[in-house]
Amino acid sequence: MATAAEAATTDANAMRRALALAARGLGSTSPNPVVGCVVLDAEGQLAGAGFHQRAGGPHAEVHALREAGERARGGTAYVTLEPCNHTGRTGPCAQALIAAGITRVVYAVADPNPQATGGADTLRAAGVRVEQGLLADEAEAGNAAWLTSVRLGRPYVRWKYAATLDGRIAAADSTSRWITSAEARADVHRLRAEADAVIVGSGTMRADDPHLAVRGTDGTDGVNQPLRVVVDTDATAVKRGARVLDDAAPTLIAVAEDADAAHLAEAGAEVVRLPRAATGLDIHALLAALHTRGVRSVLLEGGPTLAGAFVAAGAVDTVTGYLAPVLLGAGPAALADAGITTITEALRLDVTETVRVGPDLRITAVPATPVSKEH
Ligand SMILES: NC(=O)c1ccc[n+]([C@@H]2O[C@H](COP(=O)([O-])OP(=O)(O)OC[C@H]3O[C@@H](n4cnc5c(N)ncnc54)[C@H](OP(=O)(O)O)[C@@H]3O)[C@@H](O)[C@H]2O)c1
């Protein structure tokens, strides 16, 4: 018989393994969450493990139960998210766990999705012991994009920029290639592959003619290509022959309701029409339109003007800054006007990670006061 401390270690190890498995689904499960599951048999030995690999495919529990087979009977399932209770493209996982004879379920985070919630109640009603909250913070962080999109009803937004150590994203003459290293740029491709959409403003479109698709040094087969989105109010920045109009990935151009966008439709680009704001387009309408299309996470790649509008709209959930040990002394700052005029209004952030990427530094930070639904 294991001591309480040994049992706690077994639980934590199994959940950690489930979390690592869940992370392998990042970038390919949207609009679903990433989920990992580990099944230990009645003796506490590993019997099965799996993760949700792609939307429409089996859920993590199903993979793990299949691998465990008969050994699941009397065993414990560790799941990073509350097992679902609804029949979607696959059957309800709560029922699958009951049918497999699992007698204890430990999950990290409750499912906030109104259609799927209730799995824990179903399990309890069938006599299964259910525990919630093990490694919940880690599981929240691993599923931040999906949880945010369900809770706020809009995609999770990561604003990414690359700047000099003095905070500039281009030189005074607008040249900006390349501020950060090849290693940092490769890292950005990883962030792109994890996102459902990548967004730039018309200023960046005009200055850089960016391609915005995912490239990898290790080949791009099977890599998630996010939707490329250009916010081009008057449909004047995306010209015929623009690199975002190639077929490397789908592209959506957001324009004003009254913009003349005939040339974009002719070039085969998809166009979404949105209401104007005081400057440019309404950011909330843009995010709502993306959410409707099933976009759960976006990588906002700038530039500073559009990023300022997102910050002003309360629509930045995470900031990822790549800082290069380079000084410019003049040139645009990483963030333009965000509606903040005095120090007491400053958007305070908590740093969640600092990592050396080649010669550069990657800093990740989240608003100290989490973004709320009121915005
Ligand atoms: N180092 C980096 O990380 C990085 C990243 C990106 C860009 N950059 C650099 O940034 C520079 C371009 O930056 P930028 O600030 O001029 O351009 P931007 O932020 O890419 O685009 C700004 C434009 O977006 C449009 N827009 C649409 N809706 C908007 C809204 N709600 N609020 C604000 N703007 C809205 C506006 O033009 P319309 O109304 O005409 O559409 C606005 O002028 C380039 O030099 C580029 O190289 C650097």
- Summarize pLDDT for 271-314 with one digit per residue, the tens: 999 999 999 999 999 999 999 999 999 999 989 999 999 999 99
Tell whether the model's pLDDT for residue 222 goes beyond 70: no
Residues 6+ apart with CB under 8 A from 5: none
Tell me, yes or no, if 353 is annotated catalytic: no
Residue of 61, 82, 194, 301 with catalytic role: 61
Mean pLDDT of 206-225: 78
Q: What is the mean pLDDT of residues 113-119?
A: 78
Q: Is the pLDDT of residue 227 over 60?
A: yes
* Residue 336 in contact with ligand 1 by CB distance below 6 A: yes
pLDDT of 273 reads: 98
- Of 154 and 269, the one with more pLDDT: 154
Give the residue-averaged pLDDT of 239-258: 95
Q: Do 254 and 228 touch, CB atoms closer than 8 A?
A: no
Q: How far is CA 21 from CA 25, 59, 110, 324, 356, in A?
A: 8, 12, 18, 32, 25
pLDDT of residue 164: 98
**170-210 residue pLDDT tens:** 999 988 889 999 999 999 999 999 999 999 999 999 999 99
Task: Locate the ligand 1 atom nearest the alpha carbon of residue 307 and give its number.
Answer: 19
Q: Is the dihedral of CA 159, 163, 166, 170 positive or negative?
A: negative
Query: Is residue 143's pLDDT more than 90?
Result: yes
Q: Is residue 288 left, alpha or beta, with left meaning phi > 0 and alpha meaning psi from -120 to 50?
A: alpha
The tens digit of pLDDT for each residue in 9-31 reads 999 999 999 999 999 999 889 88
Query: Do 321 and 356 meet the contact criterion of CB atoms below 8 Å apart?
Result: no
**What is residue 374's predicted lDDT score, i.e. its pLDDT?**
55
Which of 13-22, 43-52, 54-63 bottoms out in mean pLDDT, i.e. has the lowest?
A: 54-63
**Whether pLDDT at 217 is above 50:** no
**Residue to mutate (ligand 1; options 165, 233, 260; most atoms within 8 A of CB):** 233
Percentage of residues of the chain with pLDDT beyond 70? 96
For residue range 156-167, what is the model confidence (pLDDT) as tens digits? 999 999 999 999
Q: Categorize the per-residue pLDDT at 265 as very low, low, confident or very high, splitting at 50, 70 and 90.
A: confident
Does any ligand 1 atom lie closer than 6 A to the CB of residue 251? Answer: no
**pTM for the model:** 0.90
Query: For ligand 1, is residue 302 a contact (CB within 6 Å)?
Result: yes
Residue nearest to atom 37 of ligand 1 (CA): 202
Q: pLDDT averaged over the chain?
A: 93
3-state secondary structure of 54: coil
